[in-house]
Structure formats: structure tokens, C-alpha cells
A = this chain, B = another copy of it.
Amino acid sequence: MVPPGIYTPIVTPFTETGELDDTALALNVRRYLASPLTGLVVLGSNGEAAQLDDDEADRTIAQVRALVPRGRPLFAGTGRESTRATIAATERAAACGVDAVMIRTPSFYKSQMTSDIFVRHFREVADASPVPVILYNVTVFTGVNLAADAVAALSEHPNIVGLKESGTDLVQLADTLSRMRDGFVVLAGSASTLHAALSAGAHGAVLALAGLVPDLCVSLFAAVRAGRHHDALLLQRRLAPLARAIGPTFGVPGLKAALDLLGFRGGAPRAPLRPAPAAAVEAIRAELAALGALETSDAAR
């Protein structure tokens, strides 16, 4: 249900007045469909899900589903702080026809967010969800951690099929991989440790970077699968500077700027986020150029 491979999150473009920009969204999605990426994720962290109203979220999911043909996996982020709001959002996304939902941990009441709480939450959501559930641990944004013991317990649930782990803690990743049930799929979320995560046994990745240089990311994945670790390592090193710039340094504004440089439609993020400053755009342009991505982009336009 979660094919191994490389996925990209889709950003959510806005018009100049701050409304959803359906045209831009459709353009981006269509271009991804022509790439070798295994599938797409709508309303992940990079989709500014935290900043959308429920109505906007539902509409975005429906629009993307209408564009992505069945057979090409499409996952939707439907995590909310309360269990009941998460279930409600999940049911609405399932009604749109997404292949699975990717549900971040609740996180506001940090000191209460124990493994026991997480296990209860995800089990209740998975019991109610009409579609398979992918756990989503993204400590950099949530400030809480879904530990290996919780993942191991949740992997036994028949409707919980995988984990997206955005962290770079290889000790935790290896621990998780060694304790989960067979068939459970782990997708890495950090481009900076992509090779290390795949070497450790991760089955694929969901990467903002894959939305910029899909061919290189897919090549790295294929190299690891084929046991060509030296090639994979060289690719990892080539990708490292762009991975660093896109991820922690410049965030969603940087990703949207990079997409603009490549002929996609990124645009401005929603406030309080601000567009990437000029110096950041130049830094990103330099890294894209170093990877030959700008030429490809010109050709594609």
C-alpha cells in the first residue's frame, strides 16, 4: 500500500491576495506526474498545512486527487491536535480518494505526549480511518518525538502501514527498523541523511529535495537498491549543499523560491512566513546551478 521509492511533498501556492491558487497548484502537480517520482504528498509540513483552514485543506486535497491518476500513490496530511479533529479530517480526505493519510503527532501539550498517549491516539485514528494510516514524526516542527517503542507497537495495527520519519537520528531509525513488524514501510524525511537512512534499511523517502531534483534523488535510491553504495555516496555528496539550503536553513520560503527558479509556481508563503530574502534566493540558485538543474528547467519550459 506504500510502495518503496521517492516521494515529494507538494507546496500550496497562494495568489497575491493570499487565497489558494488552483492554477499554480495544478501546474506543479502535472509537472511532477511527468517525473520518475513514485508518488506525492499533499498537505505535509512543506504544504503549509498548519496555516490552512479546514475548508482550504479539504479543497486542496480534492483538487490534487482529481489530477493524480489512480495507481500513482497520493498521501494527504490530516493530523490535528485533537483525536476527534484528526479523525474528522481523515474521513474527509478519504472521501476524496487519497491512497493513505500521513498523520503527524499531536504536540501542543509536550510534557503529556508520551508513547502511551501517542499509541492510543494513532490507534483510535486508525480504527476510524477508511484508508491506511502513515505515522509522521517531525520533531523539528513539533518538538516531540515518536519513539521506536511507540512505532513498534503501532506497526502491529492492520491499518497502520508505515512511518515517515523526518529526523536525522540514525540510532533511533535503526532501532525502529529492527523492532517493527515485517511489511511496515519506513520513509525517510531528511535529504541530508538520505543515503545513511537507505543504507540502514529505510524503504524510501519523502523529500522536498525530490521536488527540485527528482532524477538525482531517484538515482540515489536506485543505486542503494542495486548495492552500488559508492555511486550512492557520490550522489549524496553532490546533493548535500542543496539539501542543507532547502531544509533547515531556508524552510518553506526557500523551497518555494527554488520552485520558482525551476519554472514551477512556488510564490510567497502565507504570513507570518515571508518570501525568502534575495541572498537566500541567490544561494539556492547557485546550488541548483551546480547540480545542472536550471538548464533542465529551461528546457522543460
Contact = CB atoms under 8 A, between A and B. Distances in A.
A181 interface: no
A120 B270 CA distance: 13
Given A141-B109, A240-B178, A82 B170 contact: no
A85 to B, nearest CB: 7
A174 B237 contact: yes
A106 interface: yes
A203 to B, nearest CB: 13
Interface in A184-233: 190, 192-193, 195-196, 199-201, 227, 229, 233
Given A51-B82, A193-B170, A272 B106 contact: yes
A50 interface: yes
Nearest to A49: B108
A53 interface: yes
B273 A109 contact: yes
Nearest to A141: B108
Interface of A: 18, 45, 50-53, 81-85, 106, 108-113, 117-118, 120-121, 124, 140-141, 143, 168-171, 174-175, 177-178, 190, 192-193, 195-196, 199-201, 227, 229, 233, 236-237, 240, 244, 248-249, 251-253, 270-274
A287 to B, nearest CB: 14
A252 B82 CA distance: 14
**What 7 pairs across the A-B complex have the smallest Cβ distances?**
A143-B143, A199-B199, A121-B272, A83-B271, A51-B82, A50-B108, A171-B192
